Amino acid sequence: MAEYSDKELLEMFHTDQSSYAFNLLVRKYQKKIYAHVRRIVIDHDDANDVVQNIFIKVWKGLEKFNEDSELYTWIYRISVNESLTFLKKKRTKFFIPIHNVEKEMSDKIDAGEHFSGDEIEKKLQKALLTLPEKQRIVFNLRYYDEMPYEEMSKVLGTSVGALKASYHIAAKKIEENLLGR
């Protein structure tokens, strides 16, 4: 299947092919968004719920989408917000203190369900869970998605300088954790 550019998809959406265009958009971004969300919420079922909510929000907002900003950046922004909202709800819903949610996610990595990584990868993911949420997101966007700082700045609404500092601190912490310091 030919992959359309974001501009082409938006043009198609504004004609009478909105459902078809949306379907193509989901197919274009689903793997990236799933991977991004999964790294934040860890569990597959949780990631599935969040990803569906993200695309439903995209569908609802696409009509009014301001084409001055990039579609890709906008979808990532929704993803970050939805993932953080999900974790927040999880905490307030079950009155679980912060460390317990992280413990639950760490246990899920150990259980290894839908997880294909080796022991080093497990260690890395568990080390990532020790970071504050937003720092973890900065690290994931930079390390795994290789997103340029300028784009990250648009997604997270934070200055490039602050993002660089955040990534630097996160990488240092991970390094120390991996080396067992």
**Which positions touch other proteins (CB under 8 A)?**
19, 23, 26-27, 30-31, 34-35, 38-39, 42, 44, 47-48, 51-52, 55-56, 59, 114-118, 120-122, 124-125, 143-144, 168, 171-172, 174-175, 178-179
Q: How far apart are CA 125 and CA 109, in angstroms?
A: 8
Nearer to other proteins, 2 or 92 (CB): 2
Minimum distance of other proteins from residue 118's CB (angstroms) = 8
Output 42 or 87, the one with its CB closest to other proteins.
42
Min dist. Cβ of residue 100 to other proteins (A): 21
44 neighbors 57 (Cβ within 8 angstroms): no
Nearer to other proteins, 10 or 26 (CB): 26
Asked if 69 and 37 count as a contact pair (C-beta separation under 8 A), the reply is no
For 61-110, give the DSSP string: HHTT--TTS-HHHHHHHHHHHHHHHHHHHHHHHHT--HHHHHHHHHHHHH
CB of 60 to other proteins, least distance (A): 9
CB of 161 to other proteins, least distance (A): 14
- Residue 123, phi then psi, degrees to nearest 5: -60, -40
Nearer to other proteins (CB atom), residue 46 or residue 156: 46
| Contact yes or no for 50/37 (Cβ under 8 A) | yes
